[in-house]
A and B are shown apart, each in its own frame.
Chain A
Amino acid sequence: MSHERITCLASHPTEPCVATGDDRGRITLWYCFTAATVKKPVTSTLHWHAHQVNYMTFTADGVYLLSGGEEAVLVIWQLETGHRQYLPRLGSEIRSITVSPDQSLYALGHLDNSVRVFNALDLDIKQAIQGLKYAQTDHLTNPLSTGLVIEPRNHHVVLNGVPGTLQFYNAYTDRHVLELEVTPRNKASRTDDKEIVQPHVDLVAFWGRGEWMATVDSRDDGETTPELYLKFWRWDPDAQSYTLNTRVDAPHAVPITSLAFHPVPSGRNACPLAITTSKDKTFKIWHLVTQPGAGQNEYDVAWACRSIGVYRDYVPHHAAFSDDGSILAVAYGQIVTLWDPYTNTFQGVLVHPPEHRVVKRIEFLGGNSTFLVSVTRDHLYVWNLLTCTVWWSYQIKVDHLAADRQSSHFIVANNFPDSSDCRFLVFDPRTPIPVLIHSVPDKCRALAYLPRDDLPSFSTDRSGASSVLGHSNVIFLNQKWDLHVLGQAQTDEGSDRDETDARDKVSLASITPAPKTYFSDIFGTIRPKPSQEQLKAAAAAQQAAVAAAKDRAGKGEEEEKAFDLLSAPSHVMPSVATVFEAFMEGLLGKVGEVKEDAGRMEEDRDDEKDDEEAKEDQMDVDVVVPSANELSVPAPSLAAQDLSEQEVAIATKGGAFGFLGNQFLRQLTAGDKPNGHVVAKQAPSTPHYPKTNGVFANGKANGTLAHDSSDTDMEPEPGTGWNDKTPVSARTPKKAVVDEEARRVATPKKAVVDEARAVATPKSAGKKRKQ
């Protein structure tokens, strides 16, 4: 009789009657079980819901019918009298209802991933269990634009909640901590078929130890004037929450693309700064000012725009402050501009190789390193800011990137496009060889480092593996919108318990198997007592790849010095020209026939000629799928070489795409290359990665990772590997050359390279000439 879609059904416990709910909000009771009514059912309609009835249930005695829907109101129908009782303002759409057998409790499941339990007598709430709110919202209208942000005070995970709110979540205890209503709104359900456009929190950032929080929220329904607000929130220790301090209406004319705080440690009495970039081609720096006429009370402060920056009519896409706050980097298209945030002076520009790809994201690495990571659509670049050059790069689709604040490591998530797998790569910026690869059978939706220092069960151990993740765990959202924490597994008995504990805590909101088992599989086999030499060799291999300037792993002291120099903040360093010699001296050590500057220039030119030839080779490599021969040219380590042969053999058989290990086989510091700089490309044809961990461990991990593995047959011999490379690395000591090479290697066409350099990096070019 009705042509509406039936959405739910319940049968009466005592009478011959069933109830159906439809998408027009009507509940129909069907009396169609007697002989007279089988053909012509007698129906009765209960209509209160304006929208679809999501769920309904009878109480066990058949006296009441409970129904709920989008209105977030529980309706209790007394069937005999038609009397209705409401439990309104539940905050979120009702998805399911159940009644305890003794009819003393009602439990409601809500769209915001919570369960609320009510006393059936007085309809008082007894308990609320809140999961990750974002898991069940409409992901199209409410995208996860904030990503996963770690609140620095308590290390809560902050992310979009239901529209217009932020949710603070404790990932370790699996507890909802706080819902912050960024945009207060009246939770009215729609009156017609058109959905109400809700405000959306676009961005969130924290300052220092969490004293300040900044949010950007917007609402654009296409009819009224688009709303855009920048809000600054102060931590209120009394309320244990953030309270709104400043609301900037329409901080930019058009949507804001990024938001970042100046990372000055809060201990210093410096004025906090924040930056917003917008599609209106400007970026604005905001600072804290005392409100005019206000006293000395520290709460009489507000945020105001300090300066507006523009660069050449380009649209800024992302901005980041260096860890010490001395550099502000703003990404414009394919270039990254560097600014002094204190003086607003333009410092320089980093031009990405002319891939014509927009830089999506830039990130300074933590741990006082001098590296800047930038991400374009299909490339990952690591810049050394001391040299303003691309240190290394990969052709890899970076879906998500997170940098560890406590070390210089960063992690990259790469979703396989044609399978539901995801690969995590942890890099040390100094070397293109990932220090860790992990694959999970899930897509990664967001990624962050979650500090683990305050959680004893995740206590750091002093093993080599601990250096991979440092003092952090990795937290990510999978495609089912579950939070997963990836941590370091341990093999001794005590840590087994920890592991199970952790797993319990980690699997949130659903019962997905903890992906950590993969880790334990991998590292469990690795665990047994690596010998000291092996460890050393591994470390040495890494360092060699980064510096590419050493002949021997045993040269501890010089190494140390050189890296001391590098580890200083870039803005406190003397100019590169001043420290260059000393630095290179230390770096090169015994290789050292260091020439005078003029001579080096000449050598540069020589090298350039060589480079011409090298480039031809390089082009071949770029275009052609590397053959086994090419790949087996002197490689950084024997292990890699051996592995490459294996790999290629598999590749020719399988022909599938996507395994990681092959990338590293194509390290281009081959013998014909004069420099030790590394650019790796992802090989287009690699075997399909089997999901069993055994294969992973045997085939790849031990070879490509610099760790020693249990498979002693594959044991690399770092000594020989380095020896092979010694002549190569000896010839590449100079920054200019490195710069040059980086460009060459990354870009096959010389003309373009030259042009780009001429346009984009006049300073560095000029500097070089001066030298």
Chain B
Amino acid sequence: MEVHRCRFVKYQPASINALSYTPRTAKPTLLACGRANGNIEIWNPQWEWNLDKTIPGGANMSVEALVFTHQTILTDEDDYDTEEEKVEARKNLLAAPPRLFSAGLNAYIMEWNLHTLQAQRSVDSHGGAIWCMAANHVNTVLAIGCEDGCVRLFDIADGELSFIRSFDKQKGRILSVAWSPDDKYIVTGSSDSSIRKWDVTQGRSIARMTVEKLRREDTLVWAVSVLASGTIVSGDSLGHVKFWDGKLGTMLQTFPAHGADVLCLVASRDGRTVFTSGVDRKLNQFHLVETSISSKKRKAPSNNSSAGVPAPTSTTKWILAHNRRFHSHDVRALALEEDRPVNALVSGGIDVSLVVCPAQEFPDTTQRRLSCLPQKPVVSVSKTKRLMLCRFTNVVKVWRLGKGRLRVLLVAEKFVISCLTLTQWRSSHYCQLISSNIDLLRFPASAPTQPYLDMDIGAHLDLVEPQQAVLEMTMKDDRNITASALSENGMWIAVAEVEETKLFKVEDDPNYPGRLIVRKQKQFASSIVTPSTRGFGAHYLLFTPDSSKLVIAMTNSQVLVVDLSGWQEQRYEILRRFGQHRGMGENDERNDDGDEQVSTIVSMTISADGQWLSTGDLLNRIHVFNLDALQVRIYLGLYVSDIVYGRHCKDEYHTTLPNFAPTHTTLTFHSYHPSTLIVSLASNEFYLYDVELCRLTDWSRKYSEKLPIKFLQFKDKIMGFGFNPARPNTIVAWGVSYLCLIDLAKGVGDRDAVLNVAKRKRVEEDKAEAHKKVERRRRYEKLGITTPMPEPPRSALGEEGEGVEDDGVNFQVLHKFQPLMFLDFVGPDSMVVVERPMFGILEKLPPSFYKAKYGT
């Protein structure tokens, strides 16, 4: 097996600046994660943290603060005549989806549309960069802290976003802001080493608390929070965490808990636990404890004034309970949702990964580092042209894959083959691989169902022709790229962002042989823009396998099929427009009442014969379209039984499917059974659906519900499927950290089996070893020698029959390649994997806070 192991794709995720959970009243709970490049990721904690969607940012759009709001009270009760109306209105409020606001150093407050992933509304702060933002507890007013030292309030009630008032100006910028529990006061931390308490109605500062300065330099109060009890917590650039009396403004306790700036803090809802973190990467937990068991029993102090009165002193105090260190660089954001089932403390920072850790059990828990690689592949490949396209924030790069030659092959087994050329190697019944970092997976090609147990990394191959970067396009727009595609014939490149889709024609560069140049098809944009699609870009792009059509999943959830065959006349005809994901048919005028049914298209696939197109959205609606006939074929998914849609789709093409409770993650047509659609779910289950017969395939009906347990336990979701032309029956499911071979000609076998090939091999070896020992002993006994041989452990021997015939386990998991960004087959037994090792990402980061290690 030839493996192009590509590590040259220098994908660099951006660091995390802000985190925010949806309010408690909104269901389901989501987490927004704002990054330095302006992207906002929406994570769903259900199904082991699935990345639902990414709102693309743009240049100068770094996210400093994120707030999810969900209004729960009626702003103007008088508008409603009857109680019933009020109740109805409240119900509507509660049912409304949460709103997401972001603010950044570009001085704008943005509200995002969570379906189209476009900015819905934006407001200038008029006070310069926004450093912090907080919504009051009823989610009707937004307070922001500005560069100019003003706190500004914005009305966000009832879908508004408008300026209310500005507080008195103070010296220095406002770095942190928090609302008191009764929403009457605002507490801010600023860069002039002070914490202020403001009266909301008057807009005046009513208390000022100062923190220590170091050598007359102002201390920055990076984080403040007001607990349910009214206690104010602050974190500053000296690394101190301070607790203040909320009424009097006196300091209660101070902890020099951090070695450097405290950048973020979160408090639990009951106000008994506080988490802080910052530049020194430490995550500290503070806890409120009782310092006397019963204050009544305690004798009053002997002085006369308090004699007889129960001891008035506070009987609680804060202690620094625990600390953990999850990150390798500064931690810039924390988010806490301690209620089950979420129960997660999430932290993120410069080191680009989100770390999730159970909050209630802290610190006796294991944290989980979520993959920072995109869950929707950013790579597309032209198999025939050996071209690979990858998109970055606003750059698209194309490489031509390298070729290798086998120099010395040291096979782990018994023989050494030296100096085999590629062709010789191919002819010697062994498959061979070439790549940039070329590894060889060795197994006999004659046995296509050879268990991967025998698969082995054989050798590295010399690159006779290294991979070559042949094209690099930098987009002129400020907006980040959302989708890109490379056509199979290598002629077209399509690139999309949220407002525009562009098509480029690829040509050979006459000046530099081997290099490519692109030519923008200017007519394309204008020809697909209609009044209803103006200003809408795309979330997903795909070329049909014959490169004659481009399918565009628009940000407004329309699906366009564009014919490219008339390119010479600059004529791009929209063949068909599907509005199913907007909750309607082809008639895109009927959009208003179906608005709540609009959902972001997150997956799309086209079958290898170009006949079928399938798209899926976040509501788990999966539609299958026949591209030959250009009509909807099937509608799968969650809302199949929905009456409205049942009526709407009640035609001869309609079929039903078991409802998928988990969100689907990918859609793929089987390359060699073009009518078989593979749907993978966030729970790591996958289903095979035959779109011709409108039912699940026999294999899927039999086994999809009982996949091996170990496979379902993988925390990384399935990111795609690969199909090896040399093994038509086998599909390769892959995720960030694994690839799994599944033979569809066989059953699932033992559900509890060990899937990891290497581990299975070890078990085999142990078994063989134990067997050998027994043999040797038997031989000795035959010779009359008794040796004190320890009885081989029962588990190593295993029950007879188990493991001897290997077909007991169908799923074969390799962890050899990880973390994976992409996997596909470019030819028979020729696989391309794109890896992005974590150290490659980390080495690009600035140095982290130095921590002296004892003894060095």
| Bound Cα distance A51, B164 (Å) | 60
Least Cβ–Cβ distance between A84 and chain B, in angstroms? 10
Among A45, A50, A83, contact of B854 (Cβ-Cβ < 8 Å): A50
Looking at B255, B289, B319, B323, the one whose CB has the most chain A CB atoms below 10 A away is B289
Interface residues of A in 1-30 (CB under 8 A from B): 1, 15-17, 29
A-contact 0/1 string along B627-671, CB 8 Å cutoff: 000000000000000000000000000000000000000000000
Which residues from A are CB-within-8-Å of B287? 42, 44
- Can you name the residue of chain B whose Cβ is closest to the Cβ of A189? B855
Among A16, A82, A191, contact of B257 (Cβ-Cβ < 8 Å): A82
Which residues from A are CB-within-8-Å of B320? 44, 82
Q: Is B523 an interface residue, CB under 8 A from the partner?
A: no
| Bound Cα distance A82, B254 (Å) | 9
Asked whether B293 lies within 8 Å of A45 as measured between CB atoms, the reply is: no
A1-B364, A29-B319, A191-B854 as given contacts; A42 in contact with B254, CB under 8 Å: no
Least Cβ–Cβ distance between A445 and chain B, in angstroms? 36
Among A1, A42, A191, contact of B319 (Cβ-Cβ < 8 Å): A42
Q: Is A298 an interface residue, CB under 8 A from the partner?
A: no
B-contact 0/1 string along A34-63, CB 8 Å cutoff: 101100001111000010000000000000
| Bound Cα distance A36, B287 (Å) | 12
| Bound Cα distance A313, B292 (Å) | 79
- Can you name the residue of chain A whose Cβ is closest to the Cβ of B257? A82
Which residues from B are CB-within-8-Å of A29? 319
Q: Is A192 an interface residue, CB under 8 A from the partner?
A: yes
Which residues from B are CB-within-8-Å of A657? none
A16-B292, A16-B293, A44-B319 as given contacts; A191 in contact with B855, CB under 8 Å: yes
Least Cβ–Cβ distance between B709 and chain A, in angstroms? 30
A15-B292, A16-B291 as given contacts; A43 in contact with B321, CB under 8 Å: yes
Interface residues of B in 691-742 (CB under 8 A from A): none
Which residues from B are CB-within-8-Å of A36? 290
| Bound Cα distance A33, B290 (Å) | 9
Asked whether A82 lies within 8 Å of B256 as measured between CB atoms, the reply is: yes
Interface residues of A in 460-501 (CB under 8 A from B): none
| Bound Cα distance A483, B337 (Å) | 67
| Bound Cα distance A43, B321 (Å) | 5
Q: Is B253 an interface residue, CB under 8 A from the partner?
A: yes
Q: Is B522 an interface residue, CB under 8 A from the partner?
A: no
Interface residues of B in 444-466 (CB under 8 A from A): none
Asked whether B322 lies within 8 Å of A45 as measured between CB atoms, the reply is: yes
Q: Is A31 an interface residue, CB under 8 A from the partner?
A: yes
A-contact 0/1 string along B248-289, CB 8 Å cutoff: 000001111100000000000000000000000000000101
Which residues from B are CB-within-8-Å of A42? 287, 289, 319, 321
Among B255, B256, B290, contact of A31 (Cβ-Cβ < 8 Å): B290
Asked whether A81 lies within 8 Å of B319 as measured between CB atoms, the reply is: no
Asked whether B855 lies within 8 Å of A31 as measured between CB atoms, the reply is: no
Q: Is A533 an interface residue, CB under 8 A from the partner?
A: no
Asked whether A31 lies within 8 Å of B319 as measured between CB atoms, the reply is: yes
Which residues from B are CB-within-8-Å of A593? none
Which residues from B are CB-within-8-Å of A16? 290-293
Asked whether A43 lies within 8 Å of B322 as measured between CB atoms, the reply is: yes
Least Cβ–Cβ distance between B217 and chain A, in angstroms? 22
Asked whether A192 lies within 8 Å of B321 as measured between CB atoms, the reply is: no
B-contact 0/1 string along A171-205, CB 8 Å cutoff: 00000000000000000000110000000000000
- Can you name the residue of chain B whose Cβ is closest to the Cβ of A192? B855
- Can you name the residue of chain A whose Cβ is closest to the Cβ of B322? A45
Interface residues of A in 127-152 (CB under 8 A from B): none
Asked whether A81 lies within 8 Å of B254 as measured between CB atoms, the reply is: yes
Which residues from A are CB-within-8-Å of B322? 43-45
Among A31, A37, A50, A80, contact of B253 (Cβ-Cβ < 8 Å): A80
Which residues from B are CB-within-8-Å of A17? 291
- Can you name the residue of chain B whose Cβ is closest to the Cβ of A16? B293
- Can you name the residue of chain B whose Cβ is closest to the Cβ of A50? B854
Which residues from A are CB-within-8-Å of B364? 1
A-contact 0/1 string along B309-350, CB 8 Å cutoff: 000000000011111000000000000000000000000000
Asked whether B255 lies within 8 Å of A82 as measured between CB atoms, the reply is: yes
Asked whether B854 lies within 8 Å of A44 as measured between CB atoms, the reply is: no
| Bound Cα distance A1, B321 (Å) | 13
Which residues from A are CB-within-8-Å of B855? 50, 191-192
- Can you name the residue of chain B whose Cβ is closest to the Cβ of A33? B293
- Can you name the residue of chain A whose Cβ is closest to the Cβ of B288? A42
Looking at A34, A37, A80, the one whose CB has the most chain B CB atoms below 10 A away is A34
A82-B255, A82-B257 as given contacts; A44 in contact with B321, CB under 8 Å: yes
Least Cβ–Cβ distance between B259 and chain A, in angstroms? 13
Which residues from B are CB-within-8-Å of A191? 854-855
Which residues from B are CB-within-8-Å of A33? 293
| Bound Cα distance A266, B740 (Å) | 91
Which residues from A are CB-within-8-Å of B289? 31, 34, 37, 42
Which residues from A are CB-within-8-Å of B854? 50, 191
Asked whether A15 lies within 8 Å of B254 as measured between CB atoms, the reply is: no
| Bound Cα distance A81, B292 (Å) | 19
B-contact 0/1 string along A76-103, CB 8 Å cutoff: 0000111100000000000000000000
| Bound Cα distance A37, B321 (Å) | 13
Which residues from A are CB-within-8-Å of B254? 81
| Bound Cα distance A282, B253 (Å) | 72
Among A34, A44, A82, contact of B293 (Cβ-Cβ < 8 Å): A34
Least Cβ–Cβ distance between B793 and chain A, in angstroms? 26
Which residues from A are CB-within-8-Å of B257? 82
| Bound Cα distance A17, B854 (Å) | 29
- Can you name the residue of chain A whose Cβ is closest to the Cβ of B253? A80
Which residues from A are CB-within-8-Å of B290? 16, 31, 34, 36-37
Which residues from A are CB-within-8-Å of B321? 42-45
Least Cβ–Cβ distance between B273 and chain A, in angstroms? 9
Interface residues of A in 620-658 (CB under 8 A from B): none
- Can you name the residue of chain A whose Cβ is closest to the Cβ of B320? A44
- Can you name the residue of chain B whose Cβ is closest to the Cβ of A12? B291
Least Cβ–Cβ distance between B286 and chain A, in angstroms? 9
| Bound Cα distance A597, B431 (Å) | 107
| Bound Cα distance A42, B292 (Å) | 14
Least Cβ–Cβ distance between A55 and chain B, in angstroms? 21
Looking at B256, B319, B321, B323, the one whose CB has the most chain A CB atoms below 10 A away is B319
Which residues from A are CB-within-8-Å of B291? 15-17
Least Cβ–Cβ distance between B296 and chain A, in angstroms? 14
Looking at A15, A29, A83, the one whose CB has the most chain B CB atoms below 10 A away is A15
| Bound Cα distance A16, B298 (Å) | 13
| Bound Cα distance A569, B653 (Å) | 129
Least Cβ–Cβ distance between B288 and chain A, in angstroms? 9
Which residues from A are CB-within-8-Å of B256? 81-83
| Bound Cα distance A153, B244 (Å) | 69
Which residues from B are CB-within-8-Å of A82? 255-257, 320
| Bound Cα distance A43, B254 (Å) | 18
- Can you name the residue of chain A whose Cβ is closest to the Cβ of B361? A40
| Bound Cα distance A80, B242 (Å) | 12
| Bound Cα distance A33, B289 (Å) | 10
Least Cβ–Cβ distance between B517 and chain A, in angstroms? 60
- Can you name the residue of chain B whose Cβ is closest to the Cβ of A32? B289
- Can you name the residue of chain A whose Cβ is closest to the Cβ of B360? A40
Which residues from B are CB-within-8-Å of A45? 321-323
Which residues from A are CB-within-8-Å of B255? 81-82
| Bound Cα distance A82, B322 (Å) | 13
| Bound Cα distance A371, B855 (Å) | 57
Looking at B256, B290, B320, the one whose CB has the most chain A CB atoms below 10 A away is B290
15 contacts between A and B (CB under 8 A): A1-B364, A15-B291, A16-B293, A17-B291, A31-B289, A31-B290, A33-B293, A36-B290, A37-B289, A37-B290, A44-B287, A44-B322, A45-B322, A82-B257, A82-B320
B residues apposed to A, CB below 8 Å: 253-257, 287, 289-293, 319-323, 364, 854-855
Closest 8 CB pairs of A and B: A191-B855, A31-B289, A44-B319, A34-B290, A15-B291, A42-B287, A44-B321, A16-B293
Given contacts A34-B293, A50-B854, 4 further A-B contacts (CB under 8 A): A29-B319, A34-B290, A37-B290, A81-B255
